[in-house]
Each structure stands twice: as C-alpha cells, then as structure tokens.
Amino acid sequence: METRPRPGTDLPDRLAASVAHAARPVEEIAAWLDERRQANPSTVERVPFADLAGWEFAPDSGDLVHSTGRFFGVHGLRVRTDYGHRPAWEQPIIDQRDVAILGIVAREIDGVLHFLMQAKMEPGNVNTVQLSPTVQATSSNYLRAHKGAPSRYVEYFVDRTRGRALVDVLQSEQGSWFVGKRNRNIVVEALGPVEPHDDFVWLTLGEILALLRQPHLVNMDARTVLSCLPVEPPAAGGEGASWWSGPQVRSWLTERKAAYALAADYLPLASVAGWRRTADEIAHDEGRYFKVVGVRVSATNREVAGWSQPLLEPASTGLAAFVMRRIGGVPHVLARADLRPGYRDVVEVGPTVQCTPDNYVGRPASEWPAYLDLVLSRRVRPIYDVMQSEEGGRFHHALTRHLVVEVGGGFPLGTGPDFAWLTLGQLGELTRHSYQLDMEARSLLLCLRGLTAASTPTVRTGGSR
Amino acid sequence: METRPRPGTDLPDRLAASVAHAARPVEEIAAWLDERRQANPSTVERVPFADLAGWEFAPDSGDLVHSTGRFFGVHGLRVRTDYGHRPAWEQPIIDQRDVAILGIVAREIDGVLHFLMQAKMEPGNVNTVQLSPTVQATSSNYLRAHKGAPSRYVEYFVDRTRGRALVDVLQSEQGSWFVGKRNRNIVVEALGPVEPHDDFVWLTLGEILALLRQPHLVNMDARTVLSCLPVEPPAAGGEGASWWSGPQVRSWLTERKAAYALAADYLPLASVAGWRRTADEIAHDEGRYFKVVGVRVSATNREVAGWSQPLLEPASTGLAAFVMRRIGGVPHVLARADLRPGYRDVVEVGPTVQCTPDNYVGRPASEWPAYLDLVLSRRVRPIYDVMQSEEGGRFHHALTRHLVVEVGGGFPLGTGPDFAWLTLGQLGELTRHSYQLDMEARSLLLCLRGLTAASTPTVRTGGSR
C-alpha cells in the first residue's frame, strides 16, 4: 500500500508555541522593512487613463479592461436588496475571476514554527513596502501572463511534494469593491530546506502578532492567511464556555444567508447612474464611496520592472470595530451577519460595525449602522485601536481603523437577528470553511489574537515538540 | 444569565438508533403513498407557452419570466471554461434567486428519532406523489407570493422557539440546470407535540433508507436533507481508517476549486446559439440535453388549487455512479471534483461519473467522461442500481440511474488530479458546509447509508436514550 502523508494533529500546540515565541523586538523587524524599502526603490505616479499602457475602455460598455482580457476589470453593477436602508443602487465594481494564491511557507526553526514573510512593494500602499505572504500572486501572475519572472517560492503551492498544507481554504475579499472575488489562503510547511532571499524573513507568530500593534506593517493578505491558522484548539475552553454552541452558530449564519434577497447584475460601466468619468478618474457625483484612478509603477524587485494599472481609491478612512463583552468570564465579540453585493454567498459574518463613517455624514441617525455611535463614544473602553491597510495591489491608500472596544457586564446580551456573540475560537472555526468570516473580521481576529498573546506573557520555548 | 439551549452531543448515536429501527415494511409505506395519491387527485397537462397564465417572454431578451418577477425565470447563459472538452457553449438555464426551505421536522417517538415526511404531489414526478420533506417551499411560497394557503408546518423553520436545528446548511442543486441555486437543508427537532395530518407520516431513518431500495419513492429534496444528517460519527473508525486525512481532502478540494477558470455570463434567451423556441418548447437543435416545456396543474392538497409553470425536461436518463473500493478493509468511493456552470463556487465534489450517457452517443470515446465505460462494463460488480427522481417542481420526468459498483483490490489507487478516494464519513463531513458535495453525490451517499444499514441487520431499540 502506498504511504499516506499525515499532517500532525498537534498543530494547535505548535502554533501556540510559535505565538509564545517572539525573540526579535518589533523595532528590529520594522528596521529591516525600512532597509528593504531603501534597497528596492520604486515610484508610483498618477496618470490619466489614456496613459495606462495595456488598459482600455471597452467600446460598447465603457468597462475598464486589460487588452489581454486578463488581470481584472472595472464593470458596472446594479444592486437590489431588502437588507439595510438602501433598496437599490448602482456602482462600479472590480471583477477579478483569477484566483490569487496568498501563500505562506512555514518551517520549524529550533523547534518553533516560523513563517517566511516578504518585504513587498505594492503601488497602493501608504508606505510602499509591507510585510506580505511568501507568495501573493494571481494566476495571471504565476502563469506569467505578464511575461515577467516567475513568482519566487510559488513552487511550494503548485507542487504538492514540496510540503504539506497546514491551511488551505478559499476566502472572499471586500464585498463592496470586488464581485465574487476569492483567494486561496494557504500555509504550506516545507518538507526540505528553503532557499533564503534578501527580501524574505522567517518570523514566529508571536513576532508577527507584535507587529500588528503598529499601523501598516503587516499587509492585508498576510493578515487573512494567518487568521485562518487553527490557533485556538478545537472547542477552546470546552463547548460550554461559549454563549452559543457550534450548531447554533452555524444555524444562525445559514438562516441569515437565506433571509435576504440580493440581485447584483452587471451593467455597462458607462451607464452607471450617479457616477461620472473624466480623463483622470471615475468618481461618485457627491464625492462619496471611492474613485477609480490610474497609476504608473516602476519597481526594482517585482516580476516585471514597470507597469500601469487602475486602483480603487476610497474617499475616506474605513472602520472595522468589534464590541467585546465577557460572558461567564469568557471574551465574546458581537458579530454581524453582513450583506455585500460582491459576496459569492450573499452574507458573511463581519465585525459589529464595518463602514466608512464619512459616508453617513449628513444622513439621519436612523440610517447609521447599528452600534456606530456606541463604538465611537466614551461609553466604551478601546482595547485595540490601530490603523491597518487594505491590499495595495488593487486599492490606493485604503486605510481601515481597526477597533475593539470592551463593554461591561451590564451590556445587554439580547441583540437583533443580524447579531451574535461569538468567542475567538468560534471566529476561528468560521475561517475553516469558505465565505463565512469576512475579510475585516478575519483581520480583527488576528489582531485580537495578538492582544490575547500579549496579556499572557508566559514565554514557552519549543512547545510540544 | 439567560438560559442557553444546547443541542445534544449524542446526535450520531441517536441517528444510529433511528437507522437500526425499521418497524414498518416498505410495502406498508408504499401502500400509504398510493392511498394518499388516490385521496388527492391531480392532473398535469402539457400546454403551449401562450397558455401559461402569469408567465411571459420578456420583450427585450426573450427570457421566460413570471409577470411578478418572482418564482423563477429561464435565461440564457454563455459559458467559457478550461475544464473538460468543451471550451465554450451557450444554453438556457433556470435562475431562481429565492432560497427554498427544505425542512424536516424530527421527534423522538418511543425513544427513537422519527422524521415527519410528506406525501407530496409535484407536477414533474413520474408517479405524481413521492415522499418529501415536511416543508418544501421557496420564499415566494412561504411568504405567499401566490396568495395561497401557508405551507403546513413552516412555522417550525421560521420560529426558533419551536425546536432546535439538528442540521441547517445551504446546499446547491443541479449546476447544469440552475445558476447559483441554493436551498436551506434543515432538520428541526420539535420541542413540543406536533399536530398530525393525513398527508404526513412519521418514519425512522431505517424505514426511509429501506424505501431507497425502490425507485421513485423518496424525492430528491428529502434525499438531500437527510444526506446532511451526521450519521457517521466524527472521524468514523479513527482518522487512520481513511486513505486521506481530513486536511488533505480539504486541500484537494480547495486546489481543484481554484484550478479551473469559469466565466458564466447571462445573455438573452432569444440569442442562445444552438437552441430554438417554438410555441410549445425551447429545445436544442440536435435534440440533446433538455427542453423547456409548459404545464397546467390542478391539485387538491397544495397551497393553491391550480397553476401553470414551465418545467425543464431532460432529453434522456441521467447517470450518477460511484466506483467503490476497499482500502485496508474500509469502503472508499472515487469522488470527482466536478465543474458546473451554475455552481456558486465553481467546483463541487460529485460521483465518479455524473452525466447523461446519451449526450455522448456519436462522440469519440476520448471525449467520454472518465470511468463511464468502466461503470457500465462487466468488469465491475453493481452493489446498488436503482432509478431515482430529480425534483418534480422544476423538472419533468427527470430520472437518474443511481449506481454504485465495487472494484477489487487490484484496482489502481492512483488517479488523475480531479479524483480522490473518500470514505462515507468524509462524504458526510463535506455535507456539513455549503457547496462542497453536489446534489447527486449527496443522493448517492444516502443510498449508500441504506446499504451499510442493510448489511448490519442488528436491530437496536432505543439507542443511547
């Protein structure tokens, strides 16, 4: 009989050991990122659409597309839904049918799991270079549609004999900006030695979690992949420690996914109501939501030396906030079943509040998202409040305030049907399968793990192995 | 602190007891179905599209739609993919955005779980009435878009205080006939007494599984809901009993979901190439695949007494076949990662072979689905070979031969990348979350459970409670 490779069943213990191990201070790693930024100079320049080499507005629809039909396109979308206060609207949206690999190579060093992180330039980053997955490439990239160099280390995610998958799951991205987007979130433990490279560094989970206490060091793609690691052991603290049981959580989410109607249909970008196109941008008539702009990029350490592309530029800073409350001594967050027009499965679990607060300026308070006023008020105690970046390969200076606020035991446990109190272990459980926990909630989950790690400063070395 | 209702953790034991309990013979239950068929006479009559009250061809697109915009519609779809032998085609497809509730009420009777099954007429059934879930209703029905009576027992699935969910998961339907279709597969254990009704009967799982050895008694909707019950205990037989570990199965499916490109875009039904519309039908030029036809229905025990609707009528009988092989003594089936244009997540796990064999008549053998010749050959031993019906509310006389063939220990374990050897427990595990195991594989899984139950005729009464 053939041999059967078996992933270890002690993964949560090994991850806990990696969380507990943080030899290098944040300053040292940030200095290394600075050094890589200077070693690999790049420029990003705003250009009119006419100067975006390879891109064009399709003659019939006005959609912004690449001449090869690859990479991604900007289309129009007509949305009708019975969720929220707006029954219908039209908007531009990014359509990217390519599945990206967001892949991290892992390896034990001195008995502790380390993760190979990349100092990667993306044109939309506020600080050009952030700590990124080992590989972050769409199939247009790793199949080399751009005719450039292959993505470094991509063989670990294409050739199954190179390692074993610790995590391998498709996840969504921003459902208001992408339609049907899904990425392969994958961590592969290498079976043999891994060749070093100047732009890559081996970090423990503890070191990465410490970096999350600073803004804009760990990019969105790294945050989503790492959030899917089963850090919390199954049924952490016993099933009884959570307010709801696992089957109750699944039933709640199924019911919410079935509760709302959503029709999201393509329409020509040229005919999207309320938006206008100039030589330099596609923007909302009132300046709300976002713009689509063009950039020309030159880089010294990417697969190709220079390229042009559109980017989506939000009009304002986003907010992703969890309300946290202890129930029976166990931290729970108030999660929301959130409908977005681009989600493949209509509704995913998001933070308590996820919005762009400036979009509500001048609107009646009755139309504000639930709990927005609470999380911004003095009635709550912020325990995490750090600005983080969305993906710089598609978004220009897209910043999201990551906020966790704690409320006391007097805070009511009863909620509306779109809300549920979940433990960190239950959030982690939702990441095991596709399209259940949204991008921003996954990002906050990872930040919360950093808080938990920091509040239990017991350093274990070596863990169970 | 509020009370927390807790589903029992002994569900697999209680389900095993229900499987082992089959007091009533098949003949008695079939006779009851006959009796209900005669007590509730109905007629189904083919009519031209012009006589379908409430339905019309949209003037701009030629799409077949209901005048209210509800229920469902027949649109055109243009498909491009790198999966299989056909890189592109166009076809009609059913678009039904409503989420249907496929719900079964469960209850312990004399210590054994019973399920409340309905003798339900559907216009497309070959035998008009089949055993169906307690409730089988789209939101257009249970929100009473048809202005008829409410669906009986629907309150168990709308009002959470009536019971606790044993299963609650969204699942797909036929990905070649529906686009993006998803149903809520739910089993609710009633907390109080349940009012009886002449068209409903309480059956154990063992009784239902015995009925599956006959054709066309248990309808498709009942089969999919019951397939999602966690009959196999977690990691049945120990993790080591399966050829692949759970993480390997998940990684294989994720990789296959990401491996293929699929673009499936609506186009006007009137412009679908290769299909033609007459006064009576929409059909393929060569008579392959399926037709869309119209029927007028009168019934005595449905929410409304009469209605008209389109139905999809397959050109020929379908085949869903699993190759089964023992590995280390444990039965494994050869599952296939199958791409269908209507799947919400592109690829799901299906049977070894799932096709309409007549569609391949006259085509070169190189274009036949893998293993089709094997499962129809004398080199294999059929252990299950029964015709079952697809859903009679949308399909007219859609019959699928359900086939399981056993191969010996000399059969190679090595397969192409789209195939994997999975245990019944692993198939069951895939049903816990949405869009992983397709309709036909779920149906075969339930039939296989019936075989397993039959080969261990130990009758236990009462089980663990």
Residue A464 in this model has a pLDDT that exceeds 50 = no
What's the pLDDT score for residue B3? Answer: 38
Q: What is the pTM of this model?
A: 0.93
The DSSP code for B146 is T
d(C-alpha B450, C-alpha B233), whole Å: 16
How many CA atoms, within 13 angstroms, populate the side-chain half-sphere of residue A245?
Answer: 13
Confirm whether B293 is domain-assigned. no
| pLDDT above 70: percentage of residues in chain A | 92
B10 touches chain A (CB under 8 A): no
What's the pLDDT score for residue A388? Answer: 98
Count of domains observed in chain B? 1
Confirm whether B374 is domain-assigned. yes
A69 touches chain B (CB under 8 A): no
Take residue A353 and report the two structure tokens written for it: 């509040």
Q: Which long-range contacts (CB under 8 A, 24 or more apart) does A331-334 make?
A: A331/A423, A331/A424, A332/A242, A332/A243, A332/A421, A332/A422, A332/A423, A333/A404, A333/A421, A333/A422, A333/A423, A333/A424, A333/A427, A333/A444, A333/A448, A334/A371, A334/A415, A334/A419, A334/A420, A334/A421
d(C-alpha B184, C-alpha A10), whole Å: 35
The CATH number for B423's domain is: 3.90.79.40
Angle in degrees, CA B339, B340, B341, rounded to 5: 125
User: Where does residue B269 rank: exposed (0-12), middle (13-18), buried (19+ CB within 10 A)?
Assistant: buried
Residues 414-443 of B with CB under 8 A from A: 414, 433-435
d(C-alpha A327, C-alpha B288), whole Å: 60
Write the DSSP string, B229-296.
Answer: S--SPTTTT-GGGSSS-HHHHHHHHHHHHHH--EEEEEE-GGG-TTEEE-SSEEEETTS-SEEEEEEE
A25 to chain B, minimum CA–CA distance in Å?
34
What's the pLDDT score for residue B462? Answer: 31
> Which of A2, A165, A262 minimises the CB distance to B251?
A165
What is the H or E stretch that residue A453 is in?
helix A439-455
> Which of B254, B328, B413 minimises the CB distance to A169?
B254
The size of the A-B interface in CB pairs under 8 A is 101
Q: Provide the 10 A C-beta neighbour count for residue A192.
A: 8
Residue with the two structure tokens 């690449």: A66
pLDDT mean over A419-439? 97
Nearest CA in chain B to A267: B266
**Considering all CA atoms of chain B, what is the largest pairwise distance in Å, rounded to the nearest integer?**
70
- Among B412, B407, B447, B409, smallest CA distance to B427 is for B447
Contact check, Cβ <8 Å, A4/B169: no
Q: Angle of helix B424-431 relative to helix B439-455, nearest 10 degrees?
A: 140
d(C-alpha B71, C-alpha B344), whole Å: 19
Query: Which residues on B lie below 8 Å from A434 (Cβ)?
Result: 345, 433, 435
Query: Which residues on B lie below 8 Å from A184 (Cβ)?
Result: 254-255, 258
Q: Is B66:B55 a contact under the CB 8 Å cutoff?
A: yes
Pairwise pLDDT comparison (A375 vs B363), residue with the higher score: A375
B168, B265, B339: best mutation site toward chain A, by most A Cβ within 10 Å? Answer: B168
The DSSP code for A218 is B
A461 touches chain B (CB under 8 A): no
Contact check, Cβ <8 Å, A245/B7: yes
Q: Residue B452 — φ and ψ, nearest 5°?
A: -60, -45
Confirm whether B202 is domain-assigned. no
A37 to chain B, minimum CA–CA distance in Å?
32
User: Reduced to 3 states, what is the DSSP secondary structure of residue B210?
Assistant: helix
Measured in whole angstroms, the distance separating CA B374 from the mean position of its chain's CA atoms is: 25
d(C-alpha B41, C-alpha B35), whole Å: 10
Cβ-count burial A330-357 (b if 16+ within 10 Å, e if not): bbbbbbbbbbbbbbbbbbbbbbbbbbbb
Take residue B100 and report the two structure tokens written for it: 């249907």
Query: Which residues on A lie below 8 Å from B97 (Cβ)?
Result: 261-263
Q: How many residues does chain A have?
A: 465
Query: Which residues on B lie below 8 Å from A7 (Cβ)?
Result: 245, 247-248
d(C-alpha A12, C-alpha A203), whole Å: 17
pLDDT tens per residue, range A200-210? 999 999 999 99
Query: Which residues on A lie below 8 Å from B184 (Cβ)?
Result: 254-255, 258
What's the pLDDT score for residue A142? Answer: 67
Contact check, Cβ <8 Å, A170/B250: no
Q: Is A91:A77 a contact under the CB 8 Å cutoff?
A: yes
What's the pLDDT score for residue A196? Answer: 97
What is the H or E stretch that residue A238 is in?
none
Angle in degrees, CA A229, A426, A385, rounded to 5: 75
**Considering all CA atoms of chain A, what is the largest pairwise distance in Å, rounded to the nearest integer?**
70
B98, B251, B423: best mutation site toward chain A, by most A Cβ within 10 Å? Answer: B251
Confirm whether A57 is domain-assigned. no
Distances (CA, A) of B271 to B266, B293, B310, B312: 11, 18, 19, 19
Indicate the residue type of B298. S
Contact check, Cβ <8 Å, A258/B1: no
- The alpha carbons of chain B give a radius of gyration, in whole angstroms, of 22
Question: Facing residues of B294 across strands?
Answer: B47, B310
What's the pLDDT score for residue A299? Answer: 86
Nearest CA in chain A to B431: A433
Nearest CA in chain A to B69: A263
d(C-alpha B411, C-alpha B223), whole Å: 30
Pairing of strands B178-179, B88-95: parallel
Q: Is B206:B21 a contact under the CB 8 Å cutoff?
A: yes
Residue with the two structure tokens 């296959």: B256
Q: Angle of helix A439-455 relative to helix A220-227, nearest 10 degrees?
A: 70
Query: Which residues on B lie below 8 Å from A245 (Cβ)?
Result: 4, 6-7
Residues 257-276 of A with CB under 8 A from B: 257-258, 261-263, 265-266
Nearest CA in chain B to A248: B165
- Among B155, B136, B329, B134, smallest CA distance to B241 is for B329
The DSSP code for B61 is T
B239 touches chain A (CB under 8 A): yes
Indicate the residue type of B292. V
Confirm whether A445 is domain-assigned. yes
Confirm whether B292 is domain-assigned. no
Confirm whether A270 is domain-assigned. no
Q: Is A32:A201 a contact under the CB 8 Å cutoff?
A: yes
Take residue B306 and report the two structure tokens written for it: 């009469």
B4 touches chain A (CB under 8 A): yes
Nearest CA in chain B to A259: B99
d(C-alpha B116, C-alpha B196), whole Å: 9
Pairing of strands A112-121, A262-267: unpaired
Q: Is A140:A409 a contact under the CB 8 Å cutoff?
A: no
Residue with the two structure tokens 């409304």: B304
Angle in degrees, CA A87, A93, A98, rounded to 5: 130
pLDDT mean over A129-151? 80
Measured in whole angstroms, the distance separating CA B301 from the mean position of its chain's CA atoms is: 23
pLDDT tens per residue, range A10-53? 899 999 999 999 999 999 999 999 999 999 999 999 999 999 99
B156, B170, B182, B188: best mutation site toward chain A, by most A Cβ within 10 Å? Answer: B170
Residue A123 in this model has a pLDDT that exceeds 50 = yes
Angle in degrees, CA B121, B124, B128, rounded to 5: 35
Distances (CA, A) of A269 to A59, A295, A341, A444, B265: 11, 20, 16, 33, 16
Contact check, Cβ <8 Å, A97/B263: yes
pLDDT tens per residue, range A157-166? 988 889 999 9
Of A81-90, A136-145, A172-181, the one with minimum mean pLDDT is: A136-145
- Residue B421 structural domain: 244-263+316-461
- pLDDT (tens place) for every residue of chain B, 465 residues total: 333 444 556 899 999 999 999 999 999 999 999 999 999 999 999 999 999 999 999 999 999 999 998 889 999 999 999 999 899 999 999 999 889 999 999 999 999 999 999 999 999 999 999 999 999 988 766 665 556 677 899 999 988 889 999 999 999 999 999 999 999 999 999 999 999 999 999 999 999 999 999 999 999 999 999 999 999 876 544 556 999 999 999 999 999 999 999 999 999 999 999 999 999 999 999 999 999 999 999 988 777 789 999 999 999 999 999 999 999 999 999 999 999 999 999 999 999 999 999 999 888 988 999 999 999 999 999 999 999 999 999 999 999 999 999 999 999 999 999 999 999 999 999 999 999 999 999 999 999 999 877 654 433 333 232
Whole-number mean pLDDT of chain A?
92
Query: Which residues on B lie below 8 Å from A101 (Cβ)?
Result: 258
Confirm whether B359 is domain-assigned. yes
Question: Facing residues of B296 across strands?
Answer: B45, B308
d(C-alpha A137, C-alpha B327), whole Å: 38
Indicate the residue type of B308. S
Nearest CA in chain A to B138: A258
Query: Which residues on A lie below 8 Å from B5 (Cβ)?
Result: 248
Contact check, Cβ <8 Å, A5/B101: no
Indicate the residue type of B306. G
d(C-alpha A365, C-alpha A91), whole Å: 24
Take residue A380 and report the two structure tokens written for it: 């709550």
